[in-house]
């Protein structure tokens, strides 16, 4: 195999990395029935319904999180979501949570015009990458959307409905460790459905 790769004229390391990524299998983060493998933080509502994961604001109208019990370091994450109300959510990675205070980085899931696919650092530096105005029409509010988040070392990339949204390196992210977490923002009135939550560990 090595001789064949060398004869191709392409860098051997690049081909090996590409081959390894192709062989990695997607695994489901959500079993479609219950919240096995996840932990709820806060008093907001998280539940399974018709093979979908539902998050919605509770009577306290506070921040809430649903986090994987397992930590994920380098990964390629895929999920579909539909925003049924005009509220803010997000996909956190390499995150840790105490109470309802989260440390980590968020791929934004928000109403139109509010940087879905951008990266925000909670209780830290705030926005690391916002979305340019010309990409704000990629989100389909009230319809199913697909978000992809790829994190390898200090390199973060996101795609929304197949369109690249962010691509950058950050030393602090490179040092982070933690879980995948979905967010309900405070303020109340939020309801989002998620499905096809799958991950490739790299």
| Chain segment 166-190, per-residue pLDDT in tens | 999 999 999 999 999 999 999 989 9
Strand ranges (E), the chain? 27-28, 38-41, 45-49, 52-56, 64-71, 75-83, 89-98, 101-109, 119-122, 126-129, 145-152, 155-160, 163-169, 179-184, 191-201
pTM higher than 0.75, yes or no? yes
What CATH class does 26-201 carry? mainly beta
Strand order in the sheet with 89-98: 38-41, 64-71, 179-184, 89-98, 101-109, 119-122, 126-129
Cα 149 from Cα 94, distance rounded (Å): 12
pLDDT of residue 23: 56
Over residues 155-174, the mean pLDDT reads: 98
Instruction: Write down the domain spans for the chain.
Output: 26-201
Specify the DSSP element, H or E, that contains 172. helix 171-174
Instruction: Determine how β-strand 179-184 pairs with β-strand 145-152.
Output: unpaired
Burial class (CB in 10 A: 0-12, 13-18, 19+), 178: buried
Query: In this predicted model, what pLDDT tens digit does every residue of 45-59 receive, in sequence order?
Result: 999 999 999 999 989
Q: Would you give the distance in Å from CA 118 to the centre of its chain? A: 11
Nearest to 121 by CA among 107, 136, 138, 100: 107
Cα 199 from Cα 77, distance rounded (Å): 4
Query: In this predicted model, what pLDDT tens digit does every residue of 88-102 receive, in sequence order?
Result: 899 999 999 999 999
Q: How confident is the model at residue 108 (pLDDT cuts 50, 70, 90)?
A: very high
Write the CB contacts of 113 (distance below 8 Å, at least 6 apart in sequence).
Answer: 136
Residue 157 pLDDT more than 80? yes
Contact in structure between 187 and 73 (CB atoms under 8 Å): no
Query: In this predicted model, what pLDDT tens digit does every residue of 2-27 receive, in sequence order?
Result: 334 444 554 554 444 444 545 578 99
**Considering the chain, what percentage of its residues have pLDDT values greater than 90?**
83
Residue 125 pLDDT more than 80? yes
pLDDT of residue 87: 81
């Amino acid at each position: 195999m090595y001789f064949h790769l060398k004869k191709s004229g392409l860098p051997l390391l690049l081909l090996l990395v590409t081959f390894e990524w192709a062989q990695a299998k997607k695994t489901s983060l959500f079993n479609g029935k219950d919240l096995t493998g996840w932990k709820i933080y806060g008093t907001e509502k998280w539940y399974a319904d018709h093979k979908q994961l539902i998050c919605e604001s509770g009577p306290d109208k506070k921040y809430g999180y649903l986090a994987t019990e397992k930590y994920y370091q380098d990964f390629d994450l895929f999920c579909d979501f539909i925003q049924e109300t005009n509220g803010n959510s997000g996909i956190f990675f390499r995150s840790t949570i105490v109470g309802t205070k989260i440390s980590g980085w968020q791929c934004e899931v928000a109403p139109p015009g509010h940087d879905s696919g951008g990266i925000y650092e909670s209780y830290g530096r705030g926005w690391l990458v916002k979305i340019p105005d010309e990409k704000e029409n990629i989100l389909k509010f009230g319809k199913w959307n697909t978000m992809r988040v790829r994190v390898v070392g200090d390199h973060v990339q996101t795609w929304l409905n197949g369109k690249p949204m962010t691509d950058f390196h950050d030393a602090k992210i490179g040092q982070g460790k933690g879980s995948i977490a979905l967010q309900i923002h405070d303020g109340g009135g939020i309801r989002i459905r998620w499905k096809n939550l799958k991950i490739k560990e790299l």
